[in-house]
Amino acid sequence: MKKITDNVYEMEHPLIQHKITMLRDKNTGTNEFRKMVEEIAMLMGFEALSDLPLMEVDIETPIEKCKSPVIAGRKLAIVPILRAGLGMVPGILALTPTAKVGHIGMYRDEVTHEPHEYYCKLPSPIEQRTIVVTDPMLATGGSAVDAVTQIKKHGGKRIKFLSIIAAPEGIKKLHEAHPDVELYVGHIDRCLNENAYICPGLGDAGDRIFGTK
């Protein structure tokens, strides 16, 4: 994992890079695409959660008593941004099966590219939890900024944002609006095009995960 700036990290693992290439390929079908999103989310989650605090507990092995570490404190909440963020949830849940799952529904206006929130249901209380927000695409950053603002309004404090592909514009916008949020991206792409799509990107993540359009 490479540190880009404070609280912004880009993945370097060859497996993540390989799977992102498969995602980008326009010939990758829905079934494979979904599987790749899940696998990449698990690999990224593994990296992003490497600082979870541990505490020692007393256990007894078949051989003897010993102290051994477990994850300390309140557990996790995973919050996908609908729709596309949903595709990353099974990958994170595979790592942390007891995590609670909230949902934030956002869609981008096709003309203005402004985000609109249509749903929000978060685990309560959320204050003590590490919150993992998932959305495969960070383009203008509008959806991410609004989603994080909403989570903070509900009391969320420790937020990690996982995005498979990000444009520099989106990273800047999210980091400036919420510098305390730890942002983990699979790959930083070149730029946005005139329709605010990421280049080279992978197209519309929601449509490719759910087979719509």
Catalytic residues: 108, 112, 204, 207
What six digits make up the tokens of 152? 């903070």
- From the list 16, 88, 126, 138, which residue makes contact with ligand PRP (rule: CB under 6 A)? 138
Q: Could you give the CA distance from residue 86 to residue 206 in angstroms, rounded to a whole number?
A: 9
With CB under 5 to 8 Å by kind, the binding choice for 106 among ligand PRP, ligand URA, none is: ligand PRP
Query: Is the distance from CB of 167 to CB of 185 less than 8 angstroms?
Result: no
| Only segment of 40-48, 82-90, 149-157, 178-186 that touches ligand PRP (CB under 6 A) | 82-90
Q: Could you tell me which of 44, 41, 98 has the C-alpha nearest to residue 71?
A: 98
Supply the minimum distance, in Å, between the C-beta of residue 137 and ligand URA.
4
Interface map 36-55 toward ligand PRP (x if CB under 6 A): --------------------
Q: Could you tell me which of 166, 164, 150, 47 has the C-alpha nearest to residue 105?
A: 150
| Only segment of 14-22, 35-43, 71-79, 198-206 that touches ligand PRP (CB under 6 A) | 198-206
Q: Could you give the CA distance from residue 88 to residue 81 in angstroms, rounded to a whole number?
A: 10
What six digits make up the tokens of 117? 């929130």
- Residue numbers of the site for ligand PRP (CB under 6 A)? 81-84, 106-108, 113, 115, 135, 137-144, 170, 196, 204-206
